[in-house]
Amino acid sequence: MERCPLCFGTFQKPKLLPCLDTICFTCLDEYVLKHARASGTFPCPVCGLELPVPDGGVSKFDDNQHIKVEQTLERAQAAHGGHVPCEVCEEKKDATQRCIDCEQNFCGAFSRAHLRLNAARTHTPLSVWQVQREGTSS
């Protein structure tokens, strides 16, 4: 997994900027306080693109969901001997999907059942395998 380009640490509350760079919330907040222009913009500390400060401050930038999911899967793997368990089934089968909206890992059977629920029909599932593969290739 990549690290914050400002503090060089593991991302804490990763914020996705409009230029697609990602920075920790606290790092970004401090950076914008120091570098904000009177026009309500600031230069991205990574690529230099001039970006608007959202109404309400940097907390209004979207979270980088991909990094958050990757971090969650890494924590689950570390806690469970290298595999990511389903958070719903009693057998704790290997998870195949992670719902970004619910922030839960599901085995194949519960992933399909989850997406059939009216409340979850618009949720976004990610393949655990795909997130792990992309995380190791960064």
Domain boundaries in the chain?
14-60, 65-137
Dump the DSSP string for 11-41: -SSEEE-TTS-EEEHHHHHHHHHHH--TTSE
Fold adopted by 65-137: 30s Ribosomal Protein S18 (4.10.640)
pTM: 0.61
Residues 15-65 have pLDDT tens digits of: 999 999 999 999 999 999 999 999 999 999 999 999 999 999 999 999 998
The Cα–Cα gap between 37 and 40 comes to 6
Compute the C-alpha angle 37/54/24, nearest 5°.
90
Cβ(106)–Cβ(86) under 8 Å?
yes
Q: List, for residues 53-73, the tens digit of each pLDDT value.
A: 999 999 999 999 888 877 777
